Structure 1
């Protein structure tokens, strides 16, 4: 049933941008005209209002790069999903490898963030992926299945409402990319794991993240279980992001 899944391409700006550079980027994205896929950008918190204002009448959605598990309260520096929803965010990235590594986020915390997002009607983009050491040790399957299992257990009947992004840590910002066959093998594994938990698995979007560029996007997106991409560096250039979007088409 893969032919019912429309591709999704999401830009993760990470900690980049200024008001001026964002303005030029957003205008460049809007000027591209109709795209053959769903598209979104996940901006840093200070620029969500700018993204919401500039993209409000476009086909491009916007989202955030993280969220708190808490609704409100004395949590200095945290941003709740209710606040994100107030900005009209459709998506929020949870469990990005940089959050897991640099902020020691556990599998359960990632799952709790995904649950908090869904409770407010925001779609979580749940990231899973292995390090180079884990891949070399033959642990890829165990790692991604463990990471996804925590989310499946926590979300229970809501599992089918999330987006999953496979991002091999060794391919993020390094210029190295998993081969289409390597990426497809993990995506197929994840979809099989999801199929055991929800009847909606065949309809769920599974994204690939890890040095996706205009020259490799089409080959990656042609894989049967890869439904688009979570794009880092290339999302900061309008022409590159648009080219990646145009490489995506509904099978």
Structure 2
């Protein structure tokens, strides 16, 4: 059975006091809402990782994640954060290849493959992001692009290593725009990704991979999105900054 995950990506939002307040609110609200094999991950800014992790304590269902890591082990890379640093803090998850990293920091497939390797080597679960911009979808080239993104950064992995990866499909045109892919569009793309994995690793392996949908997930559309057979949860942006709405999204994720 695939693990169901609702991950909140806080991006570069909230000051320290606000971050602690939000974490406290979420702990109070979702403690009884996480059921079965559903996990909640709070991907918070680097300066808040330790504090949020301490607030979560030994909670079995709620974990903390980083939003990025370097492809380097260590060295003279001012401003970067290495996967071994995250490992030393017992951070279990890290987002790799978010569309904003691709767009603003020119991160491509080869670089992201190195980051995926670095995460896995340090016992981190990479949440690997892929997805198409609007112009690519309008040219009906979105499936080809996403297959290429998956190939470039994941197909070098062994089957064993692949099973340590979570994939997040995020149509770029639906991130922070208020637009959301329809449930059918999300299901179709998730099925494309899973079929592509099956072509490389076999159906049995592909069926174990958790694939999340990211792109303006909110309390109003979560039920329909999460009911799709190949949608195993969500990578939630803006709505994860609102404790009540994020809790409602989590409630929509059935084990």
Aligned length: 247
Q: Indicate the residue corresponding to 1:90 in structure 2.
A: 92
Distance 2:117 2:215 in 1: 25
Which of residues 12, 16, 22 in structure 2 aligns to 1:19?
Answer: 16
Deviations 1:107-166 (A, max 9, x none): 111111011100000000000000000000111011100000012233233112100000
- After TM superposition, give the deviation of residue 75 of structure 1 in Å: 1.1
Deviations 1:159-190 (A, max 9, x none): 12100000000000000000000010000000
Q: Indicate the residue corresponding to 1:177 in structure 2.
A: 180
Alpha-carbon RMSD across the aligned residues, in angstroms, is 1.0
CA contact (8 A) 1:100 1:106 kept: yes
**1:105 alignment partner, SS class:** coil
Deviations 1:64-110 (A, max 9, x none): 00000111111111100011112221110001000000000011111
Q: Indicate the residue corresponding to 2:253 in structure 1.
A: 248
Q: Indicate the residue corresponding to 2:162 in structure 1.
A: 159
CA contact (8 A) 1:69 1:113 kept: yes
Find out whether 1:29 has 2:32 as its counterpart: no
Distance 1:57 1:9 in 2: 18
Which runs of 5 or more residues in structure 1 are unaligned? none
Q: Indicate the residue corresponding to 1:51 in structure 2.
A: 52
Distance 1:52 1:155 in 2: 29
Distance 1:197 1:79 in 2: 32
Moved over 4 A (4+): none
Which runs of 5 or more residues in structure 2 are unaligned? none
Q: Indicate the residue corresponding to 2:150 in structure 1.
A: 148
